Amino acid sequence: MISLSGVSVTLGAHRLFSDVSLRLPAGRRVALVGGNGVGKTTLLDVVLGNREPEEGTVSRPRGSRIGYLPQDVVDAVGESETVLQHVLEGASHVTELSDRLREIEHRLEVAEVEEQERILDEYAAIQDRYDQLGGDELEPEAHRVLAGLGFDPADAHRPTRELSGGWRVRVALARLLLSRPDLLVLDEPTNHLDLDTIAWLEHKLRDLPGGLLFVSHDRDFIDAVADTIVEVAAGTATEYVVRGTTAAEQGGFAAFVAQREERLAQLRAAKSTQDKQLAQTERFVERFRYKASKAKLVQSRVKALDKVERIEIPDHRRLVAKFQLPDPPRSGRVVAELEGTSVRYGDHAVLDSVDLTLERGRTVAVIGPNGAGKTTLLRLLAGALAPDEGEVRLGHNVEVAVVDQHQAEIMDHSRTVLEEFRTALEERHRAMNHRTMLGAFGFPGDLAERPVGQLSGGERTRLGLAKVMVSPVNFLLLDEPTNHLDLPSRDVLEDALQAYAGTVLMITHDRHVIRGSADAVIEVGDGDATFFDGTYEELMWRREAPGRDQAAPAPTSRRASGGDRPAPRAGVKDDKPVDKREAARRRNARYKATKDLRASVERLERDLSRTEAEVADLTRTLADPDIYDEAERVRELVTRHGEAKDRAARLLDEWEAAQLALEEAERSVEIELEA
């Protein structure tokens, strides 16, 4: 087990964190959270052994293996091998055993009789270890992992040099998963993954035999994977167990927030008591400082004050309280249209005869696998790409702005945040309170005077968002805006989208942001772009239960900028204004009310799948006539086979009951929300 005890790290004159203790046994899944710049990556470096702490100890058992996926892993993926070769190299400790077995087999062929028994013992020991590590299943498992991460079977034999940066990240992740280290350390693993791949990875990480430590700002990913959340804030790291305890009754990220608020309340009470005691001591010192008869008492209290460890309250206030953004000019009711639009790269049609209409006031999330055409669709609407066939038309008075992953690269790093921000403002907006607007995006007070070159990647993304959203545009295109944003910054994004009066089309893999902001979804794949007039949860509900369309929840969110109400058309939403926060609250209520039941159904599905696989494996074994020479083994196999079949039948009954309960709960929630 890898563990940290009383660890402290200082950067220059600044104490980054102190007295951090952390245990990472096999099977434990720890999410590391905290704002940008608090020391999460430095703490990972301490765990990995890349940095020694100034104080404290780090225990790493001899022979323990640690796998690490950094954010900048792209350059670490070689270019002289195929995808499969690179992935298999991750399990070199297994392939080395295979090589040793071949070597021993050769030695047996030439060994003297008296040596053969000793060599056979060595062979048996290595063979047992090889079997334990799944040696014969290594290459099939590599193909399964690659498939789970979105690779086609033919991709296994492609040279890695042909892959884009995002796909190289997946190769590196596949290599780590195949290696099955004692501790797997991941830094923002979902940044380059689409939603389906993230869901697959969640299941894979839950079944890891070793320990897991990961940095993530994706609430849903944390909910699905972590059993413990460690928050780095105010110069220390605080641990919250979010599964399997009374305190973690709510489960996941919600349990972390509830426990943190309870801890902060206790800290505030303790600080209030300490402040009163310190104030009394300071008054005594001030009153009797110049009286010789009290000098000894005064000095003792001064020393006591110096020794007091002051209680600090971590600042977890949201970066934004309220947005007051300038209203963009009103566009026509139809903001953008695609008619018979096709885009081809070589012989491959990314978009094939797509018809699509976007109306004013909508916030639309674009989802789909990597490479399916999401960014192509956005570039068409931005005017950065011309279609090979068909038309792309923007509506009357539509003005477009784009926020993409490379927004920060075009900023002047020598300017201050405030100076850079002002470059985006038109003359008519220069009288507005720019500092107040920057404060809403997380740059209050002196932070507005920091040079852009000193900002983190997430802070530059937030500044780019501020520059675009205060401009008088009415059609906002966002391409992965959450990459490198910490949790408070994602809250800033969500609130800014709710306050924005224009139309939004966004590509993001953050399901929490989609749920809190989007009232429609465009699903891109197989050359098509399908408009779904409803929330992401409703789309997932219909996907999971395609035969229950009549009972599916009705769309709950409406966004608009006012004006007449035309008759709704296919693929177009009514232009009726409502309270977006209320709509988001209703969506979240539906999600939370059925979350536990969904988790139970998923758990039973996993258990049932594993048990059915065990039954199938035992059935194949019992079909082998050679085993019937061993009566004891046959009796054992028959007993295990019967028990596994009984267990599978019981799990199937439990799964059916849980599924029915989930369906009933979904109907009840819809009735309550509509009441």
The average pLDDT across 80-101 equals 80
DSSP 8-class letter at 235: T
Q: Is 188 left (phi over 0), alpha (psi -120 to 50) or beta?
A: left
Is the pLDDT score of 574 beyond 50? no
Question: Do 170 and 114 fall within a single domain?
Answer: yes
The average pLDDT across 627-640 equals 73
Is the pLDDT score of 432 beyond 80? no
Is the pLDDT score of 269 beyond 90? no
State pLDDT tens for residues 302-349.
Answer: 777 777 767 666 654 444 434 556 678 888 889 999 999 999 988 889
DSSP 275-331: HHHHHHHHHHHHHHTT-GGGHHHHHHHHHHHHH-----------S-S---PPPPPP-
Neighbouring residues of 412: CB distance < 8 A, sequence distance ≥ 6: 420, 423, 452
**What is the chain's mean pLDDT, rounded?**
78
Is the pLDDT score of 148 beyond 80? yes
Query: Does 529 reside within a domain?
Result: yes
The average pLDDT across 613-626 equals 71
Q: 619: domain CATH number? A: 1.10.287
According to the model, what pLDDT value does residue 248 have? Answer: 44
The average pLDDT across 465-488 equals 81
Q: 3-state DSSP call for residue 189?
A: coil
The average pLDDT across 151-174 equals 85
Q: How far is CA 654 from the centre of its chain?
A: 31
- How does residue 76 score in pLDDT terms, banded at 50, 70 and 90? low
- Cα radius of gyration (the chain): 30
Question: Do 491 and 565 fall within a single domain?
Answer: yes
Q: State which of 210, 241, 272 marks the end of a domain.
A: 241
Neighbouring residues of 114: CB distance < 8 A, sequence distance ≥ 6: none
- How does residue 106 score in pLDDT terms, banded at 50, 70 and 90? confident
According to the model, what pLDDT value does residue 582 have? Answer: 63
Question: Do 481 and 356 fall within a single domain?
Answer: yes
Is the pLDDT score of 246 beyond 60? no
State pLDDT tens for residues 353-386.
Answer: 999 999 999 999 999 988 889 999 999 999 999 9
CA neighbor of 50 nearest in space, from 66, 63, 62, 35: 66
Query: Does 431 reside within a domain?
Result: no
Neighbouring residues of 282: CB distance < 8 A, sequence distance ≥ 6: 305
Question: Do 357 and 489 fall within a single domain?
Answer: yes
Q: Are 4 and 22 in contact (CB under 8 A)?
A: yes
- How does residue 546 score in pLDDT terms, banded at 50, 70 and 90? low
| Strand ranges, E, within 468-538 | 475-479, 503-507, 520-525, 528-532
According to the model, what pLDDT value does residue 407 have? Answer: 65
Question: Do 154 and 297 fall within a single domain?
Answer: no
* Beta-carbon count within 10 A of 532 CB: 19
How far apart CA 488 and CA 441 sit, in angstroms, is 10
- Between 655 and 25, the more confident residue is 25
Query: Could you list the residue range(s) of the whole structural domain that residue 273 is in?
Result: 261-307
The average pLDDT across 569-586 equals 49
Question: Do 174 and 186 fall within a single domain?
Answer: no
- Could you give phi then psi for residue 665, rounded to 5 degrees? -65, -40
Question: Do 357 and 367 fall within a single domain?
Answer: yes
Neighbouring residues of 144: CB distance < 8 A, sequence distance ≥ 6: none
Q: Which long-range contacts link 420-429 to residues 24+ away (Cβ below 8 Å)?
A: 420/452, 420/463, 420/467, 421/448, 421/463, 421/466, 421/467, 421/470, 423/467, 424/467, 424/468, 424/470, 424/471, 425/470, 425/471, 426/471, 426/472, 429/326, 429/470, 429/472
The average pLDDT across 24-50 equals 87
- How does residue 579 score in pLDDT terms, banded at 50, 70 and 90? low
Question: Do 5 and 93 fall within a single domain?
Answer: no
The average pLDDT across 508-516 equals 87
- Between 93 and 172, the more confident residue is 172
Length reported for the chain: 675
* Beta-carbon count within 10 A of 317 CB: 8
Q: Residues of the chain with pLDDT > 70: what percent?
A: 80
pTM: 0.63
Q: Are 673 and 556 in contact (CB under 8 A)?
A: yes
Q: Within 49-164, where are the H helices?
A: 83-88, 92-110, 113-132, 138-148
- Between 656 and 266, the more confident residue is 656
Question: Do 88 and 59 fall within a single domain?
Answer: no
Is the pLDDT score of 211 beyond 50? yes
Is the pLDDT score of 550 beyond 60? no
Query: Does 429 reside within a domain?
Result: no
Of 49-53, 284-288, 386-390, give the lowest mean pLDDT range.
284-288
Question: Do 171 and 291 fall within a single domain?
Answer: no
Question: Do 149 and 91 fall within a single domain?
Answer: yes
Query: Does 107 reside within a domain?
Result: yes
According to the model, what pLDDT value does residue 265 have? Answer: 67
Question: Do 128 and 172 fall within a single domain?
Answer: yes
- How does residue 36 score in pLDDT terms, banded at 50, 70 and 90? confident
Query: Does 579 reside within a domain?
Result: no
Query: Does 460 reside within a domain?
Result: no
Query: Does 47 reside within a domain?
Result: yes
The number of distinct structural domains making up the chain is 5
- Between 410 and 67, the more confident residue is 67
Q: 162: domain CATH number? A: 3.40.50.300
Query: Does 325 reside within a domain?
Result: no
Q: Residues of the chain with pLDDT > 90: what percent?
A: 16
Of 262-271, 308-317, 505-514, 636-645, give the lowest mean pLDDT range.
308-317
- Between 134 and 146, the more confident residue is 146
How far apart CA 190 and CA 510 sit, in angstroms, is 9
